Chain A
Amino acid sequence: MGDPLFAHGIDPWVFLIVAVKVIVAFVVLLVSVLLMIWFERKVISDMQSRIGPNRAGPWGILQTLADGVKLFFKEGLRPDGSDRRVFYLAPYLAVVPAFLIFTIIPIGGVVTIFGHTTELQVADPQIGILFLLAMSSVAVYALMLAGWASGSKYPLLGSVRATAQMVSYEAAMGLSTAAAVLITGSLSTRDIVESQNGSLYGFLPNWNVLRLGVVPFAIFFIAVTAEVNRPPFDLVEGEQELVGGFHTEYSSVRFALFFLAEFMNTITMSAIVVTLFFGGPDGPAPHVVRWLWPILWFAGKTIVFLYVYVWIRASLPRLRYDQLMDLGWKRLIPLSLFWLLVVAGMLIDSRWGFAVFGGGLVFGLMLYQALRVTRAGVEGPDATPAVGPGGDFGPGGGATF
């Protein structure tokens, strides 16, 4: 339990190792944000038959650096009607949780440096994955306070949306995380990762995505996409309606921090998905440079998910607000709750599992039928819909009014 680094008390070397780990993690995350923005722009331009950034550095890889430098030298404005302290605080509230979540992710195996054995992750707290949920809840404050402190209506609308959306999807996210926690029997991310070592039926990897069925992973992935406000759930910054959403009034460094936090969150959440459902650094490791392979596996898996995020952004249109709430409350939460019960049943006994599965199915069908009957009763047995499919007015469609 816990990091073996602290097993023999804390001496200066331990302190140094922790400091180095923090610094390295911070730098790695910052650099990967730079690369991620470039990667996203390149991939999305690939998917739109464009070339994308190609002037700064080889393949335009320094484009983000150039943009960042430009952004830092811009004038930082603060609207007159804004709340000064909260306005200045909000960007940091966005960045800090984004970084803190990354600290609990196991990015490699266990290594020995200077005679100290340590895990390749900044921190391995016992509360583990609860820390993720806590921090992603804190990140809501950044968006909410940014919108509120701006003293302007569009940011406020954006932050109201952000808060509602993130609170809604946090439930589904927590429930699908609970499935992974349940099968591991521990909250620690290191334990979650280590329980996924080995193989399933001899040839499949023993990853949670397979052990739990694909449902918790799918729900978690969708909820996380909503949680980090990425398309198609980017209603928070819906440019067509809200100018820029919560960060409309931000400029210069503070805007850069929001931007940084957004991409940090994307990377971190991809890493969390990999940790919870895809075995983290698990993967076949040849006997040369043993410590490196888990890191490569982890990075590779994360990049796959980053690619999928970009792919989703390129493909799916933004959801309408009621569709977003519908998906969150009426579909993802019941489904994840149902699946959590099934997983719990299966862990006791497979008969229990199938019983819960069958019972849930029957209950779900009954609920569906009940809703259908009720809806038909409200609208009348032979009511023609006023607006037909596709939104066109059918003949006599308006007669029901």
Chain B
Amino acid sequence: MTVTPAHVDEGLWRELVPQALARLLRTYGRDQIDLCEDAVQDALVAAHQQWTVQAPEDPLAWLVTAARRRYIDRVRSDYRRRDRETREALLALPLNACSSESSAIDDSLLLLHLCCHPALPRSAQVALTLRAVAGLSTAQIANVYQLPEATVAQRITRAKRRIAELGGALPRPGDVTERLPSVLDVLYVMFTEAHHTTTGEPAHDADLAAEAIRLARQLHKALPLDTEVSGLLALMLLTEARRPARVGPDNRLIPLDEQDRRLWEPALIAEGRALVERAVVGATPGPYLLQACIAALHAEAPDTASTDWSEILALYRLLEVITENRNPTIALNRIVAEAMVHGEEYALACIDELAEHHPRLSRLAGVRAHLLERLGRDDEAVAAYRQAIKETRNIAEQAHLRARLRRLLRSPGAPSSHPVSDIEPSRRPTGVRRPWAGEATIASPRS
């Protein structure tokens, strides 16, 4: 459980924890991640008790020193370490002396890469990153995922054990480029999995989206020239900007084309667009940067009708090419843009072709139903909506589809006035506390 002394800024605190952990891992090796993490937690408790008046001048140095002492105490008292020689070696021969000049950002970055180790399953990568890098408590993570605390604790323990088994030191800077795609995916999963913390949620409730953005910012600070990192951060900011417009008064999902765009956060949009504009110059576009470009085009348009759909279509085509057509969700999004540019008939033909290869693709039946409704083919639209309602595993999306079906059943023959662009790459509600809020989600571009 992470505790925060009252007079220490929560943000600073959250930055100190992973830095202290990274320092310890640097000294003692990543096979000691379990003990190192415990030692840092002990040091936090000590800080909580001792920093009652004010924080020390160099809080990080204080924490690292305290954590080292705790680590040594723990190794000494660890009854499992009967082998005296191993014990002495652990204490006497740290892997390398602490390089105090190594920058805090680098340390957090290395820790992030360690947590996103490719040998770990994605759920473990995310949980470990939230624990070790974002500094959330196990209880907070359990709360976010609506899982028993013991389950999350076990997942983290297993992940740490696996990392220890893999042995060796922290990832080297050379590993950073190699593992970056996995790190970006973990952060994006964290972001899309964020449940809605709109109003009335307890203040201490961790907001996954905010954590993901914070970590992406850190990553961008460390790697300002990497266009995929810029793209990911921009994509998050541009999506987050729509949050106030995304959920209606009854916690009902509001699709992109029906959102009141005046509610979008201009500061986040400006920041996201600036990132995109800087990154696209001379860049070889990667999947995150392309998605950010698409999000930026939506952000620029005052409404669906004046959106630059031709440009969006071109970007989706490019996205399909660079992902080698491996992600059918991108194809589905491209088809939505096709409908806006080339009409519903053509889009419907594309959908049927896509359905041949991916009959169970999430959201496909819903898009198909909407295209049929717009063409006035009501009977087929009703059947397609029923199919879509059956197939979805997202309760908010189901409620949304059911509402459209009811509207169609009540007033058949009246073609929907709504454009088909009723989807956006966004978040999925995971909590049971707000089961009726949320919206459709796009899969990670690499999956």
Q: A and B: real partners? A: no
